[in-house]
Amino acid sequence: MQKSFLNIFNSILGSIREPLLVLDSNLRVMDANPSFYKIFCVNPQETVGTLIFDLGNGQWNIPKLKELLEQSLPENTVYNDFEVEHTFKNIGTKIMHLNARRIYREPNHAPLILLAIEDVTEREYYKRHLEKVVETRTAELVTARQEAEKRKQTAETALSEIKRLKEQLEEEKAYLKEEIKLEHNHENIIGKSDALKYVLYKVEQIAASDTTVLILGETGTGKELVARAVHGFSKRKKRALVKVNCAALPSNLIENELFGHEKGAFTGSNTRQLGRFEVADEATLFLDEIGELPLELQSKLLRVIQDGEFERLGSSRTIKVNARIIAATNRNLEQEVRQGRFRSDLWYRLNVFPITMPPLRDRIEDITLLVDFYVKKISKRMGKVTGIIPKSMMNTLQNYHWPGNVRELENVLERAVINSSGPKLHLADDLNKPFAYLTKSQQTLETVERDYIVRMLEQTHWKVSGKNSAAEILGLNRSTLRARMRKLNIKRP
């Protein structure tokens, strides 16, 4: 009877292209159709009578196949599409769909198991290839769409900026053109220290109002960046931040710079010129180095801050402006007031909301971020590939006192980039020398400043400005250095 059954199996299913196996109740192979032998490259002598898991020297010991065959199959239940991906030694990887059904010959005979194997390797590989192609193409389309949107936004922003500049050109004239070229803004305030976070917190507190702000701090700490941050977060940010450096010009030129003049007001004034207060109307005026403002101009500045009124040089007509004032100084203005060099009423008007920018030596945790930023910036500008900062160099930078603060750090790093021929950075400055003032705790800040400036002047053979000068080493504008030399009575011997 068994032979008759198998004859029926061979005659009816033998021509089916799908590989088929007949297993007995012990999971041994009773027979297989030609497709099985052909696709899996085996012969009947190696197959019939063998436990299916032992086929091909154990290659058919597949966990998923065991799961399918060893479970109890209720009558007339088919277990379909057990997908298996398996690598055979002789034919490579195959992806198969396994289907199993119990079949019954006659009563009192153990049921057999019909195992059908669908080889879907090529189909699955093609499907996966298509899916990958679709995924890749979709990603490309998304990227292309994002780039197109970005270009559109860039174009719209550029058109908007052009329109804004055109509208402001008459009022802000040549000054606005220069200000737009400035790269400094609040995004350049780099650091994560608590001291810097507190400064930024105060900036956010005051930015939205029109309150006068006084920024205090040593030379090179980044007071102008704080001023730009206050302006950048304010409701006046669409207008330029107008800047005046009170230490850069003599008193007669500062007055003209601030308040402007009429045609013929003095020799050589052939045209009328607007002062910075008029340019900053409905905008923000940044008075840098306010402590250097001559005493005779302080009363006129006080009047503008109090009443928003002034007259141009050579004119009696009163002009009203609405300019927000941000001032900055590295001086102790309270001491200047006590010594009669700064008006107390102007000091009280300016000192409404003071923000103190901490020195770099109090922001040690920020040095790593600043070094990384400036090295990349300087290397890019110089076209050099320099980015490896030795640990010993970083330790030296973090242990240095930085009397010139962030500006001095930038200058030191620029010289280091110039001095480095490969990717590894080398310091050109000796920052390991101890400072005399570190052991003279009784010296005043003014004495310490004087000693340090004299030492830098002696080191540069009293070269005040230009390349490798004292001003470059100190990170100061040459006019600022000359003003400090006059203030501290520093003269070449």
What is the β-pairing status of strands 213-216 and 353-356?
Answer: parallel
Angle formed at CA 176 by CA 171 and CA 180, multiple of 5 degrees? 145
Residue ranges of the chain whose pLDDT lies below 70: 1-15, 71-81, 104-108, 163-188, 264-269, 433-445
pLDDT at residue number 354: 92
Amino acid 471: pLDDT: 84
Instruction: Show me where the domains of the chain are located.
Output: 2-119, 124-170, 186-356, 364-487
CA distances to 176, 218, 228, 346, 370 from 326, in Å: 18, 17, 9, 13, 25
DSSP 84-118: EEEEETTTEEEEEEEEEEEE--STTSPPEEEEEEE
**Which of 3.30.365.10, 1.10.150.250, 1.10.8.60, 1.10.600.10 would CATH assign to domain 364-487?**
1.10.8.60
- Bridge partners of 216, per DSSP, are 329, 356
DSSP secondary structure letters along 151-207: HHHHHHHHHHHHHHHHHHHHHHHHHHHHHHH----GGG-----HHHHHHHHHHHHHH
> Which amino acid is present at 476?
L
Coil vs helix vs strand at 32: strand
pLDDT, residue 73, reads 54
Q: What is the edge-to-edge ordering of all strands in the sheet holding 92-103?
A: 29-32, 20-23, 112-119, 92-103, 78-88
Q: Are 91 and 36 in contact (CB under 8 A)?
A: no
Distances (CA, A) of 177 to 45, 127, 181, 200: 92, 60, 7, 28
Report the distance separating Cα 352 and Cα 298, nearest Å. Answer: 17
- What is the pTM assigned to this prediction? 0.54
CA distance 103 to 5: 11
The DSSP output letter for 215 is E
* Run of H or E including 311: strand 309-311
End-to-end CA distance of the chain: 127
pLDDT of residue 350: 92
CATH match for 2-119 among 3.60.15.10, 3.30.450.20, 3.90.1010.10, 3.40.50.720: 3.30.450.20
For 338-392, the three-class secondary structure string (H helix, E strand, C coil) is: HCCCCCHHHHHHHCCEEEECCCHHHCHHHHHHHHHHHHHHHHHHHCCCCCECCHH
Cα-based distances in Å from 343 to 290, 325, 334, 348: 12, 17, 10, 9
User: For the structural domain made of 186-356, what CATH number should be given?
Assistant: 3.40.50.300
The pLDDT of residue 68: 79
Contacts of range 348-352, beta carbons closer than 8 Å, 24 or more positions apart: 349/212, 349/302, 349/305, 349/306, 350/212, 350/214, 350/290, 350/305, 350/325, 351/214, 352/211, 352/212, 352/213, 352/214
By DSSP bridging, strand 309-311 and strand 318-320 are antiparallel
Sign of CA dihedral 347, 353, 359, 362: positive
pLDDT of residue 53: 85
